[in-house]
Amino acid sequence: MLLYEKNIILEFIGPVNFYIGLGAKVLSAILLGLIIGLDREKKFKSAGIKTQIMICVGATIYTSISFLNIDMYRVGTNIDPNRLTAQIVSGIGFLGAGAIIQSRGTVVGLTTAATIWVVAAIGVAVGSGYIFSALFFTITILAILNLIEPILKLIGREEMFHLEVKGHKKMIKSIKRQIEDMSLDLIDSEIFHSAGEDDRSNFHLEIKSGTKDMKKFLNYLKSHSRVDTVSHKSVRKSPV
């Protein structure tokens, strides 16, 4: 059968013209890859719009070709369209591995690698004709990427905080006592005395705590009569 005489089956639509069906698949892959890519791009992640689109379109084309080849070159019954799809699943892992970077003992890029893997799955769904299901999958991924982090912050997930407290050296004892009273997890601390000022100190702390408890502790430091300045930052890297 010639390709232009063949119909392609799309979800909820049924058989459509060969070229219309292929065009719908490719355009859908571009749109869905664009949606995920925009989300990653606005978060300044390494795999942005072009990368996500290319992955989604590539997976769509490979999957579509696997189905077309079955009809064109069928010579027996032992034919499985999932063979080429399986190669997509394993092959995309190499691309995901390139997005994972190890820096200073911390592995980052796992979310980006996982997103690449899932976008390839969306392309496979589109290439198989399940365009509307692929749209649902895309919405689900966006919800995961954007809602999980606020939910974890709402329930008070623990993070690692670095604090720098400057003030009179007598503040240190009371600060340590407050940490014990609040049951905060003091990972490390270091004291620096100001040159030429025997009564001034710079107190560095590494504390593991929930965001709510950390806010209370910061309020305590800011209201401390012997504390001059307080600066803090979360040293936990955001998922990428």
pLDDT per residue as tens digits for the range 94-108? 787 777 775 555 567
Helix (H, G, I), strand (E, B) or coil at 159: strand
Out of 18-32, 65-79, 90-104, 189-203, the most confident range is 18-32
Amino acid at 52: Q
Q: Could you tell me the CATH number of the domain that includes residue 183?
A: 3.30.70.260
Q: Would you say residue 220 lies in a domain?
A: yes
Could you tell me if 148 and 222 lie in one domain? Answer: no
Q: For residues 62 and 104, is the Cβ–Cβ distance under 8 A?
A: no
The predicted structure's pLDDT at residue 210: 83
Q: Which of 154, 185, 209 is the last residue of a domain?
A: 154
The predicted structure's pLDDT at residue 69: 77
The predicted model gives 150-163 an average pLDDT of 79
Q: How many domains does the chain have?
A: 2
Could you tell me if 179 and 141 lie in one domain? Answer: no
Helix (H, G, I), strand (E, B) or coil at 124: helix
Regarding pTM above 0.75, the answer is: no
Could you tell me if 13 and 41 lie in one domain? Answer: yes
Take residue 114 and report the two structure tokens written for it.
């996982």
Q: Would you say residue 201 lies in a domain?
A: yes
Could you tell me if 39 and 135 lie in one domain? Answer: yes
Could you tell me if 38 and 114 lie in one domain? Answer: yes
* Per-residue model confidence as pLDDT tens digits over 52-84: 999 999 999 999 888 887 766 665 556 676 777
Q: Which of 128, 154, 180 is the last residue of a domain?
A: 154
DSSP 5-49: G-EEEETTTEEEEHHHHHHHHHHHHHHHHHHHHHHHHHTT-SS-H
Q: Would you say residue 53 lies in a domain?
A: yes
Range of the domain at 82: 3-154
Could you tell me if 133 and 55 lie in one domain? Answer: yes
| Cα–Cα distance, 211 to 26 (Å, whole number) | 45
Q: For residues 111 and 239, is the Cβ–Cβ distance under 8 A?
A: yes
The yes-or-no verdict on residue 239 having pLDDT over 50 is no
Q: Assign 240 a pLDDT band (cuts: 50, 70, 90).
A: very low
The predicted model gives 147-172 an average pLDDT of 84
Could you tell me if 35 and 63 lie in one domain? Answer: yes
Residue 70's H or E segment, with its range, is: helix 49-72
Could you tell me if 106 and 168 lie in one domain? Answer: no
